[in-house]
Amino acid sequence: MSALIACHPAPAPSDWRAAMRDLITSPAALFELLQLSADQLGWSEQAARDFPLRLPRAFARRMQPGDPQDPLLLQVLASQQELLTAPGFSSDPTGETGAANPQPGIIHKYHGRVLLLVTGSCAIHCRYCFRRHFPYADNQNSRAEWPAALAAIAADRSISEVIFSGGDPLVAGDEPLRELVQALADIPQLRRLRVHTRLPIVIPERVTAQLLETLSSSRLQTVMVVHSNHANEIDPQVAQAFARIRGAGITLLNQSVLLAGINDTAAALIALSERLFEAGALPYYLHLLDKVAGAAHFDVSEARARELHREIAARLPGYLLPKLVREVAGAPAKVLL
């Protein structure tokens, strides 16, 4: 750990808002932290204008200075490769606009569950993000819009689970989240609340006592699905955040994306599953890349993905083996491979 970036000590556990205010958004600051140049990184100013750099310092501290191929760095690097066009890649690879977006702030693709876009903001901009082109401006879902979204959910008796999504829903403050959870708990047919978030990975101090009380004190059974792609993302602070989540009685799962040059080896995937389980999260999904415009350089073929999955299945117990899936626009569920 001594070789990792040591400047900017980690904020106190309750100081997550300070961490959000201190995000790295300047390419020059990133280059200085990692002791690398734009040329070494293949940095693209145009790609960064199209999808700006946002990087929490807690995540940056886990990167290896001087290494342009660091697997955490490559996830946030605005690369010249993003400017290349690729057949089959689009702005809406998973079919989240149109009929699947029946009203602002709601995405409803699968039977029995609905996504509620709590906020369009994220703490980190992952370059492979399938929502990097999503029309957030048309999907504002602040407190003023919540009543309409909640009424739509209450009117559909088939919905038993609401999924907080975004952006990242935990960018919202504890008090707005408390109001939203309480309102959902008042809808009789709802049984579960699921939270899809990357914040416990990239800003682990976001996992506050108030947040955990909010998520665990209603009648709804709560599941948190975090997003980690590489074992190096899970440091002692992340493991402590996981312990707090589990201590609140919240089921903790992880989903990953298979990314070329980052985790597309059996060794990397096995290390991730082992590290997740040691920290208290169960590997859940391994997604093939959603073919979003600008991310073709991360793509791993389905044939290679199946081969990797067979390799790790032969070396891991079943409970550490994530399901290999692809999301297909218009399909009634994720497609198991």
Domain edges within the chain: 16-83, 98-336
pLDDT of 6 over the 60 cut: no
> Which residues contact residue 232 at a Cβ distance below 8 angstroms, ignoring those fewer than 6 apart?
62, 71, 72
Per-residue pLDDT band for 304 (boundaries 50, 70, 90) equals: very high
Rounded Cα gap, residues 200 and 247, in angstroms: 14
Express each pLDDT in 57-78 by its tens digit. Answer: 999 999 999 999 999 999 999 9
User: Tens of pLDDT along 222-231?
Assistant: 999 999 999 9
- Say whether 129 counts as a known binding-site residue: yes
Contact 118, 167 (CB under 8 A): yes
Question: What are 303-308's contacts with CB under 8 Å, separation 24+?
Answer: 304/264, 305/258, 305/337, 306/337, 308/258, 308/264, 308/265, 308/266, 308/269
- Phi then psi dihedrals of residue 327, to 5 deg: -95, 125
Of 211, 257, 266, whose CA–CA distance to 233 is shortest? 257
pLDDT tens-digit profile of 224-250?
999 999 999 999 999 999 999 999 999
Residue among 231, 325, 243 at smallest CA distance from 281: 243
- Superfamily (CATH) of domain 98-336: Aldolase class I (3.20.20.70)
pLDDT digits (tens, 9 = 90+) for 89-145: 999 999 998 899 988 889 999 999 999 999 999 999 999 999 999 887 777 777 778
Q: Residues 280-301: what's their mean pLDDT? A: 97
pLDDT reported for residue 10: 47
pLDDT above 90 (res 254): yes
Q: What's the N-to-C CA distance of the chain in angstroms?
A: 37
State the pLDDT confidence band at 14, using cuts at 50, 70 and 90: low
122 marked ligand binding residue = yes
Cβ contact 245:207 at 8 Å:
yes
Band (pLDDT 50/70/90 cuts) for residue 2 is very low
Cα(287)–Cα(334) distance, integer angstroms: 9
